[in-house]
Amino acid sequence: MERLYQPPLPDLASAIRAVADLPGFLARDFENEFPGIERLCVDRYLRILNAMESRGLYDCSLLDIGCSSGYFSYLFAVSACRQLAAVDDSRASSFGYANDAFLGPLRKACDESGLQHVEIVDAPIERFLDKQKGRRWDVVLCLSVLHHFYTGYGDDPTKGRMTAEELRSLFRCIGSATGTVLYLEVDHGRVPGDFLAKFCEASGLARCRVIGSSCSAVGETRNLMELWR
pLDDT band per the 50, 70, 90 thresholds, residue 125 = very high
How many CA atoms within 13 Å lie on the side-chain side of 17? Answer: 5
Q: What is the pLDDT of residue 58?
A: 86
Q: Strand 221-228 relative to strand 178-187: parallel, antiparallel, unpaired? A: antiparallel
Phi, psi for residue 219 in degrees, rounded to 5: 90, 10
According to CATH, the superfamily of the domain at 12-228 is Vaccinia Virus protein VP39 (3.40.50.150)
State mean pLDDT over 198-202.
Answer: 98
Is the predicted pLDDT of residue 208 greater than 90, yes or no?
A: yes
CA dihedral sign, ordered 100, 106, 110, 113: positive
For the chain, percent of residues with pLDDT exceeding 90: 49
State mean pLDDT over 190-206.
Answer: 96
Q: What is the pTM of this model?
A: 0.84
CA dihedral sign, ordered 44, 50, 53, 58: positive
The domain limits of the chain are: 12-228
Q: What is the DSSP string of 104-128?
A: HHHHHHHHHHT--SEEEEES-HHHH
Q: What is the 8-class DSSP label of residue 199?
A: H
Integer Cα distance of 120 and 208 in angstroms: 29
Q: What angle do CA 209, 179, 113 make, to 5 degrees?
A: 95
Helix axes 42-54, 71-79, angle to 10 degrees: 40
pLDDT in tens, 43-96: 788 889 989 999 999 899 999 999 988 889 998 998 899 999 999 986 655 554
Residue 144 has a CB neighbour count (10 Å cut-off) of: 21
Q: What is the pLDDT of residue 141?
A: 98
CB neighbour list of residue 32: distance below 8 Å, 6 or more residues apart: none
Integer Cα distance of 126 and 89 in angstroms: 11
State mean pLDDT over 26-51.
Answer: 62
Residue 175 has a CB neighbour count (10 Å cut-off) of: 20
Q: What is the pLDDT of residue 24?
A: 53
Q: What integer best gives the mean pLDDT of the chain?
A: 82
